[in-house]
């Protein structure tokens, strides 16, 4: 599993993705994430541990004032490579934040404790973005649903899709990648960065003699996951 829930979500009492948000009884914006709750009452969530949805690097961590409270944004490098575009996650309302900007975090890191800063009851507001925002405190007031969908994923659907992509990488794919990288480096034929940009990766591997035709579909996405697991990017 490459993506996890930042906190349990059993009570289902909060807003979901694309729920309309009102102000003084009038429609104002779309809710671009999910509010995570797990206790029998709202206050049962207070001070619960919150972890990042995936490994990454903190790019924003501070009190963002009314509405957001204590806000954390994380850039996910592995997911960015897997999907081919930036992936960020945004979390709000912490009682206390334990991370700072530029800090690397893993799925096991506690980034803060559930709270109610900027809102009325304890919960974790969780978003998944596919683009960088001009300001990390931006909220899409008055945006159309179409424009929102250009920036935000449905968090639960994203988690399901990301885990499915990651699980598609079989052992033979990792073994083939490892052999291919070794051959390419030994012969000075190319380097791993060029492989990722190649639309016919599978055929290249077959030509190198490290992958058989019958082993089938080594897609670009599966290749990137395998490269990550072998820490190839870390060595470049």
Q: What gap in Å lies between CA 95 and CA 86, rounded to an integer?
A: 28
Instruction: Check residue 167 and give its pLDDT.
Output: 73
Give the DSSP letter string of the chain.
-----SS---S--S--TTEEEEETTEEEEEE-SEEE--SSSGGGGTT-EE--SSSEEEEEEEE--TTT-EEEEEE-HHHHHHHTS--EEEEEEESEE---TT-EE-TT---EE-B-TTSSS-BEEEEEESS--SSTT---TT--HHHHHHHEE-HHHHHHHHHHHHHT--HHHHHHHHHHHHHHHHHTS--HHHHHT-TTHHHHHHHHTSS-GGG----HHHHHHHHHHTTTGGG-
Q: How far is CA 158 from CA 24, 79, 107, 192, 236, in A?
A: 32, 11, 16, 27, 29
Sign of the dihedral through C-alpha 131, 201, 157, 88: negative
Dihedrals phi, psi of 158, to nearest 5 degrees:
-65, -45
pLDDT along the chain (236 residues), means of 10: 93 87 70 94 94 98 95 94 90 98 97 95 96 94 92 97 77 63 63 51 59 55 65 60
pTM above 0.95, yes or no: no
Q: Minimal CA–CA distance to 159: which of 47, 83, 50?
A: 83
């Amino acid at each position: 599993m490459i993506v996890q829930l930042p906190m349990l979500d059993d009570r289902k009492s909060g807003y979901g993705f694309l729920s309309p948000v009102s102000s003084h009884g009038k429609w104002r914006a779309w809710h671009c994430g999910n509010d995570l709750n797990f206790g029998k009452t709202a206050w049962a969530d207070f001070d619960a541990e919150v972890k990042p949805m995936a490994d990454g690097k903190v790019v924003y961590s501070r009190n963002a004032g009314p509405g957001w409270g204590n806000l954390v944004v994380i850039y996910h490098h592995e997911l960015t490579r897997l999907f081919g575009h930036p992936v960020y996650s945004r979390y709000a309302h912490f009682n206390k934040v334990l991370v700072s900007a530029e800090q690397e975090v893993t799925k096991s890191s506690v980034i803060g404790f559930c709270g109610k800063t900027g809102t009325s009851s304890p919960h974790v507001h969780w978003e998944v973005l596919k683009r960088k925002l001009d300001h990390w405190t931006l909220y899409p007031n008055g945006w159309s649903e179409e424009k929102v969908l250009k920036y935000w994923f449905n968090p639960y659907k994203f988690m399901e899709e990301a885990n499915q992509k990651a699980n598609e990488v079989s052992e033979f794919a990792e073994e083939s990648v490892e052999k291919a990288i070794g051959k390419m480096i030994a012969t000075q034929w190319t380097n791993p960065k060029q492989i990722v940009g190649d639309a016919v990766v599978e055929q290249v591997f077959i030509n190198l003699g490290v992958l058989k035709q019958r082993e089938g579909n080594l897609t670009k996405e599966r290749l990137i996951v395998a490269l990550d697991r072998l820490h190839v990017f870390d060595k470049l």
